[in-house]
């Protein structure tokens, strides 16, 4: 595993139709596979906790836009695509 000082930082921004909700802190992860895994775990957590996040059906029109530090979109993952 790479040293945390050399690992890239990923930002898991949420796209809600025309609005982009920015992840202000990001996560230091070894690679895109781990970023995808984190998105999928987060979506599952949102679905399990409607008392915190609201009705899960309302999230189905949203997606994650995973970006690097420069803002380049590396992954787009629709909530509805996560099982």
Please tell me the predicted confidence (pLDDT) of residue 69: 95
Please tell me the predicted confidence (pLDDT) of residue 53: 94
List the chain pLDDT tens, one digit each, 83 residues: 556 678 999 999 999 989 999 999 999 999 999 999 999 999 999 999 999 999 988 999 999 999 999 999 999 999 999 99
Whether the CB-CB separation of 29 and 71 falls below 8 Å is answered with no
Contacts of 60 (CB under 8 A, 6+ apart): 78, 79, 80
């Amino acid at each position: 595993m790479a040293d945390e000082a050399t690992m890239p930082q990923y930002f898991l921004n949420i796209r809600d139709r025309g609005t982009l909700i920015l992840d202000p802190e990001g996560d230091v992860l070894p690679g895109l596979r781990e970023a995808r895994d984190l998105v999928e775990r987060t979506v599952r957590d949102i679905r399990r906790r409607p008392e915190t996040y609201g009705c899960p059906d309302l999230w189905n029109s949203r997606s994650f836009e995973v970006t690097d530090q420069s803002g380049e979109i590396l992954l787009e993952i629709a909530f509805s695509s996560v099982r």
